Structure 1
Amino acid sequence: MAKNTKGFRALTRLIEAGYNTEKAIAGMTMTEMLALPGVSVSELVQFDELQKSVKAGKVVTYLGTTEQKEKKKEEGAKAHDSTNDTVY
Structure 2
Amino acid sequence: MTIVGRGVPSSFEITVDGEIEMDAADPVEEATVVSGSVAEGTIDVGVQRFRFDGQVTNVHVVDWNGNAVPESSSVPDVHVDYGVPQR
TM range (shorter): under 0.3
> Which structure has the highest strand share of the two?
2
Q: What's the TM-score once normalised by structure 1's chain length?
A: 0.24
Q: What's the TM-score once normalised by structure 2's chain length?
A: 0.24
- Looking at CA atoms only, which structure, 1 or 2, has the larger radius of gyration? 1
> Which structure has the highest helix share of the two?
1
